[in-house]
Chains A and B, each alone.
Chain A
């Protein structure tokens, strides 16, 4: 059974592409045949984060328009077995996507026996974002501990509940997961940042993981390597934990506490 997961947020710049890259890579490393699709037509970036930007020949729009075959369009990852990237078009805009066209692509992917289809949504609530979430079985709502991101996440949850295929066909609802990114426990402790509990309280959906703010996210994107492959980094470990939870394991949440400071550091730091 193929499972389709959309990574969405409403707001831009919160870490959707970083998350899509790491979730897809994590699932593939556990042996699941996985494809990650960039739905941000016109502003593609997943190729850059995955480090395959120089290998893009055909793209999603070519595939939707039947100008290229699935085999020609998919880019096989060089580091991780079972992982494929389906890049967005850079020259077209989001109107090039239609539900019928995407449905054909999804059908082909299911026939190719993919276990997971990860849809990297563009920001906003327009056509591109709605296409990305339409076929979702599950949704990873990426949220920063910040007022505008929380509000936009709530908005996108409303759209998932009313405009996804599952809602329109009266099937079981899309399974929602909250992923909090760029979390800074010491700012939370100082009362300068919304806490995990605050956000869970407000959005009222189950927590998949907390990704601490970390330099390694920037460094990984510089290198074109999903941060989950950096096993030393806290962000990489946090994504690996999220994969466990996505696969149904229960694992206590980490990275919620700031590292303890000594008395003098607290006094003068």
Chain B
């Protein structure tokens, strides 16, 4: 083993390198939940409610992250839209909104 390891190239990805890369991503993600401003969970909920008015997404479909780069904060939203619904049935919310539209009422 030692014989082969001696001649092995030094710049290939070692398991320690893989470990560090994985931890870097994970810890950064876990810290945003912890260090992020108090309003982030509420903001996430409100955004999710708005999206749900138009598309039937589930609660895990949205990730909200606040990242600081140099001297500006970037709010990153990541929304995973569902696969096209094969049943072609509109959501209850979409039906309600369509009915309102037909009646010429303001949508709330």
For B15, list chain A residues within 8 Å (CB).
Answer: 191-192
Residues of A within 8 A of B (CB): 146-147, 150-151, 154-155, 158, 162, 188, 190-195, 198, 201-202, 266-269
User: Would B20 and A202 count as touching, CB distance under 8 A?
Assistant: yes
* A-contact bits for B3-33, CB 8 A (1 contact / 0 none): 1011000000011110110111011001100
Interface centre among A188, A191, A192, A193 (most CB of B within 10 A): A191
- Which DSSP category, helix, strand, loop or mixed, fits chain A's interface? helix
- B5 x A155 contact (CB < 8 A): no
B88 in the interface, Cβ–Cβ < 8 Å?
A: no
Number of A-B contacts (CB under 8 A): 51
Cβ contact within 8 Å between A195 and B26? no
Cβ–Cβ < 8 Å partners of A267 in chain B: 2-3, 6
Q: What are 22 A-B contacts defined by CB distance under 8 Å?
A: A146-B19, A147-B23, A150-B27, A151-B26, A154-B30, A155-B30, A158-B31, A162-B34, A191-B15, A191-B16, A191-B17, A192-B14, A192-B15, A193-B16, A194-B16, A198-B16, A198-B20, A202-B24, A202-B27, A267-B3, A267-B6, A268-B3
B14 closest partner in A (C-beta): A191
A150 to chain B: closest residue by CB: B23
Chain B residues within 8 Å of A194, by CB: 16, 19-20, 23
Q: How far is the CB of A190 from chain B (nearest CB, A)?
A: 7
Chain B's interface: helix, strand, loop or mixed, by majority? Answer: helix
B23→A202 contact, CB < 8 A: yes
Give the interface size bracket for B toward A: 10 to 19
Name the A residues within 8 Å of B35 (CB-CB).
158
Report B-chain residues with C-beta under 8 Å of the C-beta of A192: 14-16
A196 to B64, CA, bound (A): 32
Query: How far is the CB of A252 from the nearest CB of chain B, in Å?
Result: 23
Contact with A along B58-100 (1 / 0, CB 8 A): 0000000000000000000000000000000000000000000
Indicate the member of B16, B27, B30 with the most A CB atoms within 10 Å.
Answer: B16
Top 9 closest A-B pairs, CB basis? A191-B14, A158-B34, A198-B20, A269-B2, A191-B16, A154-B27, A147-B19, A194-B16, A268-B2
Give B24's nearest chain A residue, CB to CB: A202
Are B20 and A154 within 8 A (Cβ)?
no
Residues of B within 8 A of A150 (CB): 23, 27
A103: min CB distance to chain B, Å: 26
CB distance from B28 to the nearest CB of A (A): 10
Collect the chain B residues with CB atoms within 8 Å of residue A195's CB. 16
